[in-house]
Structure 1
Amino acid sequence: MMTPHINKSVSILTDGVGCARRLNARNVSVLDTGGDRGRGVFSARDFLPGEVVIIGHIERLERIRTTNSIQLNWDVHALFEKPAVIVNHSCDPNLAIVPNRFGAYDFIAIREIYSDVEVTWDYATSEFECIGISVCLCGAANCRGGVLGFSKLPPNHPMVVSRFYAPYLEETLSNFRGK
């Protein structure tokens, strides 16, 4: 009797991280923005609202907050793998974050995104107090001038109303908004 061997293609299909990386490579490209913002992430195809554009993976946890880290909890900051770490901020983003099975965030479309459009998210939706951007360069009509953080978003902000923010912020939302 022969011992069954695991088919290599089956292990590739069940490798969630590898599959997610291939999906990211198919969905987006890292390109120069042509401005002061440096590199950015651009859609490689059209997306409908609710579609996952980028699956986030943690490259490493950070002991302290850095300008490139993404806050996962009050005392937990992580550096995400590319392309997620390169996605630029916008006060009028086309992406929102949602927790994923890898302990990171997925970046989902919150409106229709066409091919070759820069994808952006609002950094204030993961950072209670943001240190990453002192002067905002997003150029959106509703630009706040700086990211400032979740604590400075008004209660009627679309990302707050839609509950597109890091889950750890929910537990204290009423404490900070009630004052």
Structure 2
Amino acid sequence: MPSPHIDKSASILTDDVGCARQLNAGNVCVLDTGDDRGRGVFAVRDFVPGEVVIIGLLDRLETSRTTNSIQLNWDVHALFEAPAVIVNHSCDPNLAIVPNRFGAYDFISIRAIYSDAEVTWDYATAEFECIGISNCGCFAANCRGVVGGFSKLPPDHRMLMSRFCAPYLRQT
């Protein structure tokens, strides 16, 4: 007797999301930063440059920009699942964003990251105008003082030169 046709595409995506969540749980954990920034995301193992540290997964699309949303396109904002939504900003980040198959961003290491180090990304590489935080508290040597947004970055900024920014921003 022939077996009925089963559409496996939905279950494959569900399996992929489950694997992504498992990878995230094995790579990072959420802890208190011990300062005014509240919670942060910390590496639970070492990473070499180019490794995926966090696979971004969409929680939901937003109809407008919110303080916790991440901009995906000119008129598209989304909330990501934890841990991605909790990753703090830094003007000297150790992560960069790249689009992924889930319609979100993966967070990849751009330099060596050691276990117990906080992982951070530059919000201006996804947000044309950042409203989530105004004054920067990253304490990096090259801190801009304000997060600003893509529109405020100098054209020779290293994240722009390496093309580590949201694809829609490269069209400006």
Aligned to 1:15, what secondary structure does the other structure show?
Answer: helix
Q: Percent identity?
A: 81
Pairwise mapping of residues 70-149 of structure 1 onto structure 2 (< 5 A)?
Answer: 70-149=70-149
Following superposition, the deviation at residue 2 of structure 1 comes to 9.8
Aligned to 2:60, what secondary structure does the other structure show?
Answer: strand
User: 1:3 and 1:78 mapped to 2: Cα distance?
Assistant: 40
Q: RMSD of aligned C-alpha atoms?
A: 1.8
Question: Residue by residue, what CA displacement relative to the aligned partner does 1:76-95 show, whole Å, maximum 9, x if unpaired?
Answer: 00000000000000000000
For structure 2, the 5+ residue unaligned runs are none
Runs of 4+ in 1 over 2 A off after TM superposition: 1-4, 11-14
User: 1:21 and 1:115 mapped to 2: Cα distance?
Assistant: 19
User: 1:13 and 1:61 mapped to 2: Cα distance?
Assistant: 18
Aligned length: 167
User: 1:36 and 1:14 mapped to 2: Cα distance?
Assistant: 37
What TM-score, normalized to structure 2? 0.93
What TM-score, normalized to structure 1? 0.89
Aligned to 1:136, what secondary structure does the other structure show?
Answer: coil
Instruction: Using the TM superposition, name which of 48-57 and 127-136 deviates more.
Output: 127-136
Contact 1:136/1:147 (<8 A) preserved: yes
Contact 1:126/1:165 (<8 A) preserved: yes
Pairwise mapping of residues 16-35 of structure 1 onto structure 2 (< 5 A)?
Answer: 16-35=16-35
Following superposition, the deviation at residue 133 of structure 1 comes to 1.1
For structure 1, the 5+ residue unaligned runs are 173-179
Aligned to 1:120, what secondary structure does the other structure show?
Answer: strand
Contact 1:71/1:78 (<8 A) preserved: yes
Aligned to 1:151, what secondary structure does the other structure show?
Answer: helix
User: 2:140 and 2:45 mapped to 1: Cα distance?
Assistant: 23
Following superposition, the deviation at residue 12 of structure 1 comes to 8.0
User: 1:20 and 1:132 mapped to 2: Cα distance?
Assistant: 26
